[in-house]
């Protein structure tokens, strides 16, 4: 059974001062798009390298997540440290994810260049940083998700299939 970690990173949401909108937005999007069986592992932590790093390690190494999607903490503010935490747990970075997410987000908002989102691989887990806002999350997921199922195949993670009419996942024929 494919396991997808959804990690919300937000000081305010983790203190209950603010409703977590990013985590539910990711979960709803995945429910619409993924055609095969999967379960979610939701986490909510405050900003910071240690808090995010600890949650990622738990999701990778104990929950055995195939895919982890984070939301929040990727901007230039001093508290935004999600990319640093992600970088510290992955063996390989995949720069094409951040490049493409910034490029498509730029079509909507010029401040998209402030996002430091990265993606990378730890063992059999693919980790992707998403922005904080639900609308931006959808734009980014729509752009990169066609490459996610094949990436999971390549790293030995679980198999995902998508509803082709919503997201045309691509697997090279070979």
What is the contact surface with a second copy in residues (CB under 8 A)? 75-78, 84, 92-100, 102-103, 106, 109-116, 121, 126, 144, 146-147, 150-151, 154-156, 168, 170, 172
Strand partners, 9: 45
In whole angstroms, the minimum distance from the beta carbon of 148 to a second copy comes to: 9
In whole angstroms, the minimum distance from the beta carbon of 27 to a second copy comes to: 23
Q: Are strands 67-71 and 2-9 parallel, antiparallel or unpaired?
A: parallel
How big is the CA angle at 98 (ends 174 and 60), to the nearest 5 degrees? 75
Cβ nearer to a second copy, comparing 43 with 147 = 147
Cβ nearer to a second copy, comparing 31 with 95 = 95
CA–CA distances in Å: residue 173 to residues 57, 150, 168, 170: 33, 11, 14, 9
Residues 57 and 89 sit within 8 Å (Cβ to Cβ): yes
Cβ nearer to a second copy, comparing 43 with 152 = 152
In whole angstroms, the minimum distance from the beta carbon of 53 to a second copy comes to: 16
């Amino acid at each position: 059974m494919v396991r997808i970690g959804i990690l919300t990173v937000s000081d305010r949401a983790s203190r209950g001062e603010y409703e977590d909108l990013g985590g539910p937005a990711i979960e709803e999007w995945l429910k619409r798009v993924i055609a095969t069986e999967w379960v979610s592992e939701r986490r909510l932590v405050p900003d910071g390298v240690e808090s995010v790093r600890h949650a990622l390690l738990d999701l990778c190494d104990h929950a055995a997540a195939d895919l982890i999607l984070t939301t929040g903490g990727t901007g230039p503010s001093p508290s935004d440290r999600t990319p640093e935490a992600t970088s510290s747990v992955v063996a390989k970075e995949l720069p094409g994810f951040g490049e493409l997410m910034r490029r498509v987000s730029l079509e909507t908002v010029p401040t998209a260049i402030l996002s430091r989102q990265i993606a990378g691989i730890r063992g059999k887990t693919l980790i992707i940083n998403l922005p904080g806002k639900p609308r931006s999350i959808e734009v980014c997921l729509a752009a990169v998700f066609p490459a996610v199922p094949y990436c999971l195949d390549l790293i030995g993670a679980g198999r995902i299939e998508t509803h082709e009419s919503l997201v045309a996942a691509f697997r090279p024929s070979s």
